[in-house]
């Protein structure tokens, strides 16, 4: 096992950070480097507004759009100077990257950038760190058919690797869009960046580095790193080529499949634990059916003109989640199909996915309402269901094939 190194890097004397602001800074070089770093974003949907992060205080500043792009660059320089050129970073994606809450594609951000962070803290020697960098550069070149020639920075504490891509908006591709519910509330571009960093580094990148479209911070060469008192230096310059992201798409797709399967497996485990806890603390433990409820299944086959929201909230969502023990995605698919059938009778006036999502959040370990309770609470709906022959007399059996009661 590798010995854990000091986070300030190899052989560095931490006390020198007191004099960091006295280190010389070449203003002209920094202006040139601002241009160079912004050139990495030339294919994005907009260059500004864009966020920058400044100083040891970590001050966020939004550089707003200006028809004269040079004014934006001047702003970056002036803000950097205000913070003595210490810890100056530029976000790799534009500020406008909002997504809708119901997984509809709006202003989605193209996956057009890869960033890898190699921190000396996780390598035994500088030699091991350098060897890992060489391996990563080789893998990038091989995977992108020789087109990958990224920028490499020495931060004083390790390497940053920046590779712009000819990217795509994954959410606009149906085969990727379907994985959006498994991205932990993130967009697929964020998911892609995190995958790519692990993929190209064999999982040896800084484990604390979790880039996102709102927080993928690139250090500005020529400025100072407060962690070690060193000047950030360019080791290798990006050559301007944009490797096509499709070389990596199949690997990302396999990663998403694995993540979906793991997510669904974990959800079923968690749900069973909750149900077991709920049963153990309920006085009705021995009275709740252990198999499918036939009239609930019949309801899923028969569309209704009214009371669709109520049926999902009190009957179908609890039934699918806590009796049939289906995942959120499986439940969403089934309920969506039922609502589509209901739309053929009378068009619903609500967003299907949004209502389903809200019901899934609220369902917890609740069971579907019983037929008797439905009759007591909402006689009109009960009568509609009865008229549609959703209720029919049948025996409900437990696991020992013993009749429990008749519905």
Whether the per-residue pLDDT at 288 is higher than 70: the answer is: no
Lowest mean pLDDT among 85-99, 109-123, 188-202: 85-99
Whether the per-residue pLDDT at 336 is higher than 50: the answer is: yes
Quick check: 246 and 120 in contact, CB under 8 A?
A: no
Mean pLDDT across the stretch 78-87? 96
Higher pLDDT, 228 or 99: 228
Interatomic CA distance for residues 63 and 48, integer angstroms: 7
Mean pLDDT across the stretch 303-309? 93
Could you tell me the two tokens for 82?
A: 């205000």
Q: HSE-up of 131 (CA within 13 Å, CB side)?
A: 6
Instruction: Give the pLDDT score at 19.
Output: 59
**φ and ψ at residue 192, rounded to 5 degrees:** -65, -45
Quick check: 40 and 151 in contact, CB under 8 A?
A: yes
Whether the per-residue pLDDT at 142 is higher than 70: the answer is: yes
Highest mean pLDDT among 5-19, 137-151, 327-341: 137-151
pLDDT bin (cut points 50, 70, 90) of residue 219 is very high
Instruction: Give the pLDDT score at 21.
Output: 60
Instruction: Give the pLDDT score at 404.
Output: 38
Instruction: Give the pLDDT score at 99.
Output: 47
User: What residues contact 123, with CB distance under 8 A and at least 6 apart?
Assistant: 2, 5, 129, 132
Mean pLDDT across the stretch 207-219? 95
Whether the per-residue pLDDT at 313 is higher than 80: the answer is: yes
Whether the per-residue pLDDT at 307 is higher than 80: the answer is: yes
Share of the chain above pLDDT 90, in %: 63
Angle (nearest 5°) at CA 156 between 150 and 161 = 15
Name beta bridge partners: 118: 159
Instruction: Give the pLDDT score at 7.
Output: 37
Mean pLDDT across the stretch 189-216? 95
Instruction: Give the pLDDT score at 287.
Output: 44
- Ranges of CATH 3.90.920 domains, the chain: 14-257
Interatomic CA distance for residues 108 and 41, integer angstroms: 16
Backbone torsion region of residue 185, taken as left when φ is above 0, otherwise alpha when ψ lies between -120 and 50, otherwise beta: left
CATH level 2 (architecture), domain 14-257? Alpha-Beta Complex (3.90)
pLDDT per residue as tens digits for the range 380-397: 999 999 999 998 754 444
Whether the per-residue pLDDT at 8 is higher than 70: the answer is: no
pLDDT per residue as tens digits for the range 236-246: 999 999 999 99
Instruction: Give the pLDDT score at 182.
Output: 82
Quick check: 35 and 82 in contact, CB under 8 A?
A: no
Mean pLDDT across the stretch 98-116? 69
Lowest mean pLDDT among 183-187, 260-264, 278-282, 349-353: 278-282
Mean pLDDT across the stretch 221-239? 96
Instruction: Give the pLDDT score at 327.
Output: 85
Whether the per-residue pLDDT at 66 is higher than 70: the answer is: yes
């Amino acid at each position: 096992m590798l010995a854990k190194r000091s986070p300030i890097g190899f052989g560095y004397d931490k006390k020198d950070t007191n004099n960091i602001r006295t280190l010389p800074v070449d203003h002209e070089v920094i202006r040139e480097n601002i241009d160079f770093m912004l050139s990495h974003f030339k294919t994005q949907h907009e260059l500004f507004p864009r966020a920058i992060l400044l100083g040891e205080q970590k001050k966020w500043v939004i550089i707003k759009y200006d028809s004269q792009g040079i004014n934006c660059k001047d702003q970056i320089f002036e803000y950097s100077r205000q913070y003595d050129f210490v810890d100056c970073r530029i976000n790799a994606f534009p500020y406008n990257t909002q997504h809708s809450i119901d997984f509809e594609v709006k202003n989605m951000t193209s996956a057009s950038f890869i960033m890898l962070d190699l921190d000396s803290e996780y390598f035994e020697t500088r030699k091991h760190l350098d060897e890992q960098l060489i391996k990563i550069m080789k893998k990038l070149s091989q995977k992108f058919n020789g087109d990958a020639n990224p920028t490499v920075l020495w931060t004083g504490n390790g390497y940053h690797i920046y590779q712009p891509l000819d990217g795509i908006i994954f959410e606009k591709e149906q085969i990727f869009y379907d994985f959006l519910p498994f991205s932990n509330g993130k967009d697929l571009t964020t998911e892609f960046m995190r995958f790519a960093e692990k993929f190209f580094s064999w999982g040896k990148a800084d484990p604390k580095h979790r880039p996102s479209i709102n927080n993928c911070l690139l250090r500005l060469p020529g400025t100072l790193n407060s962690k070690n008192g060193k000047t950030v230096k360019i080791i290798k310059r990006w050559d301007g080529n944009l490797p096509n992201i499709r070389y990596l798409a199949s690997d990302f797709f396999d990663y998403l499949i694995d993540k979906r399967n793991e997510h669904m497996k974990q959800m079923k485990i968690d749900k069973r634990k909750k149900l077991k806890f709920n049963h153990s603390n309920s006085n009705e433990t021995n009275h709740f059916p252990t198999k499918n409820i036939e009239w609930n299944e019949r309801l899923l086959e028969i569309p209704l003109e009214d009371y669709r929201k109520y049926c999902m909230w009190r009957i179908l969502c609890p039934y699918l989640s806590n009796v049939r023990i289906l995942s959120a995605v499986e439940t969403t698919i089934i309920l969506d199909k039922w609502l589509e059938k209901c739309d053929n009778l009378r068009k619903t006036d609500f967003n299907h996915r949004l209502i389903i999502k809200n019901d899934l959040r609220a369902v917890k370990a609740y069971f579907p309402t019983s037929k008797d309770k439905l009759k007591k609470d909402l006689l009109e709906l009960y009568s509609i269901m009865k008229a549609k022959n959703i209720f029919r007399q049948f025996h409900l059996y437990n696991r020992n094939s013993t009749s429990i009661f008749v519905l």
